Amino acid sequence: MTHAEILAHPAAARSAGGEPLLAIAGATKSFEAKGRPTLALDDVSLTLARGEFVSLIGPSGCGKTTLLNLVAGLTAPDRGRVSFGGRAVNGPNTQVGYLTQDDAVLPWRSVLGNVMLPLEIRRVPKPERRERARAMIRRVGLEGFESHYPGQLSGGMRKRMSLARTLVYSPDFLLLDEPFGALDAQTRVLMQRELLGIVRDLNLTVMLVTHDLHEAIALSDRILVFSRRPARLIDTVTLPQPRDRDPLHRSRADEAVHRRLWDKLAAELEAGPGGGGTGGGGHAP
Ligand SMILES: Nc1ncnc2c1ncn2[C@@H]1O[C@H](COP(=O)(O)OP(=O)(O)OP(=O)(O)O)[C@@H](O)[C@H]1O
Ligand SMILES: [Mg+2]
């Protein structure tokens, strides 16, 4: 297998024994809430190889966003290690693009102004800032809307803008926290297709949190299933390679994976507070 072929096939890169781009080892994290500790992550270990697309699924409130925050370096684990590119993450990880769940946009800034923001923070000279922002706005299909304000955009267009802002400083690792959750079904499929195209073109490594099992199946190389809080990794599904897929096409193998994921999640949801052997007992609900 040539080097180019290895790069084109993330699974091959994994088996080629390359150093993982991201490694989380034994991460445990709790929060203080109303004077009581809440365990959010319980001994989570995982790795991502360069070029992989990995989705995280799990019950609401289990700790998925907390895990992304660890990778982004916005919070630190109580125990365990997070390393990125072979180095420990000890503060904000500037090598990742993070499209957060609340997706904060600045309503008083135009599309161009919003997309340029990360470049301003990085003190990129103004002409270059504009040029790069305009190129990324074009890439996400928002050309012609540069001077619109967020309030004048549809939900799908706002997501495109946020994606452009996340990608404008050329990170090669993307954290996406339920990026398309609020969109209607058709817009969501369009955005999934475009995301796949962008990920392929820009050679991105992606960690996606989603509640949409079909989305996880359509986009991912691997799906990680987490328990109810505190999040523990309870299942890993590796999808067949290569992943040149259409989010609208569902194969029988996809349906089988969907059933497996759903069964796992249903078992977690039915377990109820403190039950189900998920290690959730003894913590605040
Ligand atoms: N900064 C914080 N302070 C206190 N508790 C927090 C904080 N961040 C998260 N938590 C708690 O940690 C647990 C996990 O939260 P997290 O946001 O990671 O869940 P999630 O899996 O992303 O949920 P959802 O699917 O609803 O987005 C929750 O009980 C939450 O209340
Ligand atoms: Mg979340």
In this structure, which residues have their CB less than 5 angstroms from ion ligand 2? 65, 101
- Give pLDDT, residue 9: 45
**Distance from the alpha carbon of residue 230 to the mean position of ligand 1, in angstroms:** 10
Tell me if 214 CB under 6 Å of ligand 1.
no
Top mutation candidate among 28, 32, 42, 62 for ligand 1, by most atoms within 8 Å of CB: 62
Tell me if 40 CB under 6 Å of ligand 1.
yes
Convert the pLDDT of each residue in 244-283 to its tens digit.
677 788 888 888 999 999 999 999 888 766 544 444 333 3
Comparing 128 with 273, the larger pLDDT belongs to: 128
**Distance from the alpha carbon of residue 60 to the mean position of ligand 2, in angstroms:** 7
- Give pLDDT, residue 8: 45
Tell me if 75 CB under 6 Å of ligand 1.
no
Backbone angles phi, psi at 170, to 5 degrees: 60, 45
- Give pLDDT, residue 241: 72
Tell me if 35 CB under 6 Å of ligand 1.
no
Tell me if 9 CB under 6 Å of ligand 1.
no
- Residue 173 and residue 167: Cα distance in Å, rounded? 9
Convert the pLDDT of each residue in 168-196 to its tens digit.
999 999 999 999 988 888 889 999 999 99
- Give pLDDT, residue 4: 43
Convert the pLDDT of each residue in 218-241 to its tens digit.
999 999 999 998 899 999 999 987
Which CATH fold would you assign to the domain 3-95+180-282? Answer: Rossmann fold (3.40.50)
Tell me if 61 CB under 6 Å of ligand 1.
yes
**Per-domain residue ranges of the chain:** 3-95+180-282, 102-171
- Residue 105 and residue 111: Cα distance in Å, rounded? 9
Among protein residues, the one whose CA lies closest to atom 30 of ligand 1 = 61
- Give pLDDT, residue 23: 97
Ligand with minimal distance to 59 CA: 1
Tell me if 82 CB under 6 Å of ligand 1.
no
- Residue 178 and residue 212: Cα distance in Å, rounded? 9
- Residue 19 and residue 47: Cα distance in Å, rounded? 9
- Residue 158 and residue 23: Cα distance in Å, rounded? 32
Top mutation candidate among 36, 66, 269 for ligand 1, by most atoms within 8 Å of CB: 66
